[in-house]
Structure 1
Amino acid sequence: MTVNVLILCTHNSARSVLAEGMLNHLAQKAGKDVRAYSAGSAPSGRLNPFALEALVGAGVDVSPYRSKSWDEFAGDASPVMRIVITVCDSAAQETCPYWPGSPVKVHWGYPDPSNAPGGDEGKRVAFELTRQAIAYRLVQLLALPLESMPDAELQAALTAISES
C-alpha cells in the first residue's frame, strides 16, 4: 500500500517543492512505495526557478510539479496521507485543514533560500544546500518501516529526524 506524504509551505514554490521532488526521486531509486505531494496555504501559482534548477541538477524530472493549494488534499476524494510535513515556519503556525485519515504531523523547518544574500549565485547555493538538507532527512524517513509503524512510533521517529 502506498505511503502518501504531504509537504506544506505557505506559497508552495520552493522548499515544499524541493521536498516533494526529492522524496519522489529518492523513493523511486530505493524501490519504496512512497508518494510525495506538496501544497501551500496561499500558493503563489508559480515554482521558484532556483528550486527547479536545484532539482534538475539532482536528476529530478520537474515536469509534474506545480504550485497548488492544500485544499486539493483536504477533501474526501483526496489521497489519504500517512504523514504531513511542514517545511516553513509560517505554514507550521497556521491552522491546517482536516486531513482525511488523521496523518502523523511533523515540522521540519528550513530557512527560506529565496532570501539568501549574494544575488542569483547566492540563491543558487542556498537552494542547493536546502535541497541537500531536505534530502538528508528524507533518506532517514525512507529507512523507516513506514507501512508497519504505529502512529506514536512514527511520530517519535519523525520528530527525532527533525532534530538531526
Structure 2
Amino acid sequence: MAEGFAKQLLNRTWRIESAGLETHGLNPLAVKIMAEKGIDISHQYSKLIEPTYLSHSDLVVTLCGDARDRCPMTPPTVKRIHWPLPDPASAVGDQEAVLTVFRQVRDQIEKRVAELADQLNR
C-alpha cells in the first residue's frame, strides 16, 4: 500500500520500491481497499529486501512490527524512518472487521506518505 501511495504522491525523481523480510504474495484485500482510493496495486508483487539495493538508497521506510530491527543494515548515508503500524494481514474476525482494519491502516499509510511527500517534494 505504501508503494502505491508513494508512486502517486512523490514526484518522478524518486525511484519507489517495496520489499519485506518475507514474501507472502499480494494480499487481495490490500488490492481491494487501494482500489477504493483509485490506486491500482494489482501489478505489484511481494519481494524480499535486497541488502545491496538498500545500501544504494537515499531513504528506507520500515512499517509494522519488528521490521525496523530486522531490516538489514544500511550505510550511515541512508536515512531510515520507521512507522510502527499494525500489520493488517494479521487482523482477525469476519470479512467486514478485517476490511475495517485494512482501511484504517491504509488511511494511516496515506497520511504518513503524504506528509513525507510534502517534505521530499520541496
Interval containing the TM-score (normalised by the shorter chain): 0.7 to 0.9
- 1:109 maps to 84
* Alignment check: 8 A CA contact 2:5 2:110 kept: yes
SS in 1 for 2:17: strand
- 2:118 maps to 143
Runs of at least 5 residues in structure 1 that lack an aligned partner in the other structure: 1-17, 149-164
How many Å separate the matches in 2 of 1:127 and 1:66?
18
Which letter does structure 1 place at the counterpart of 2:93?
G
How many Å separate the matches in 2 of 1:147 and 1:55?
23
1:62 aligned onto 2:56: no
Q: How many Å apart are 1:121 and its aligned residue?
A: 0.9
* Number of corresponding residues: 122
SS in 1 for 2:46: coil
- Between 1 and 2, higher relative CO (CA 8 Å, sep ≥ 6) is seen in 2
How many Å separate the matches in 2 of 1:63 and 1:114?
16
Which letter does structure 2 place at the counterpart of 1:92?
R
Runs of at least 5 residues in structure 2 that lack an aligned partner in the other structure: none
* Alignment check: 8 A CA contact 1:32 1:142 kept: no
Q: How many Å apart are 1:65 and its aligned residue?
A: 0.6
Q: TM-score, normalised by structure 1?
A: 0.64
Aligned-residue CA RMSD (Å):
2.4
Identity %: 29
How many Å separate the matches in 1 of 2:71 and 2:18?
17
- Spell out, residue by residue over 1:14-58, the C-alpha distance to the aligned partner (whole angstroms, 9 max, x if none): xxxx1111111222xxx55333211012222x1111111111111
Q: How many Å apart are 1:95 and its aligned residue?
A: 4.7
The 5-angstrom pairing of residues 66-105 of structure 1 reads: 66-71=45-50, 74-75=51-52, 80-98=56-74, 102-105=77-80
